[in-house]
Amino acid sequence: MITFGERDYKLNYWKRTGAYAVIQNDKKQFLCVKDSDSLLFLVGGGVDEGESPENALLRESIEETGHEIRIAEEIGKAERHWISSKYPSDSQHNVGTLYAAQLLEKVAEPVEKEIMCWVDYSELEKNLLHEHHLYLIKQYLDIL
């Protein structure tokens, strides 16, 4: 598994294992959620204790977009260490598994407040927060 960044041992350690979806439409755009700082994130999030990554991704998709998804295949795993401006005393560690998925019907209103949007690859490359996710997408698209 490829690792981006390094842990800062002087700070509190915070690890989060997550599952994320790479969803494209017929225009080859990527489904993302955009936060208030215009940073992009793939659909998905943390895996709760006792939950499989796949079940976490299905749950997170409904929470974030209101849509069910169909998981097609696992793309890969990568990890990243970083320090967020929101949590400057924490050395954060995300271990992410990415899955290729298809967007299905809307079954609920999203619980979370981020905006769901479709973006071209160029915007994804500029604004996707997690570089380890972008690395796996490039690997999946065979553009490394």
Confidence bin at 112 (pLDDT 50/70/90): confident
Share of the chain above pLDDT 90, in %: 90
Rounded to two decimals, the pTM is 0.93
Residues 6 or more apart in contact with residue 106 via CB below 8 angstroms: 65, 66, 67
Whole-angstrom Cα distance, residue 142 to residue 5? Answer: 23
- 144 pLDDT higher than 80: no
What pLDDT is recorded for position 86? 85
The H helix count followed by the E strand count for the chain is 3, 7
Burial 64-76 (b: 16+ CB within 10 A, else e): bbbbbbebeeebb
pLDDT tens string 5-18: 999 999 999 999 99
What pLDDT is recorded for position 44? 97
Three-state secondary structure of 35-96 = CCCCCEEEEEEECCCCCCHHHHHHHHHHHHHCEEEEEEEEEEEEEEEEEECCEEEEEEEEEE
Whole-angstrom Cα distance, residue 136 to residue 142? Answer: 10
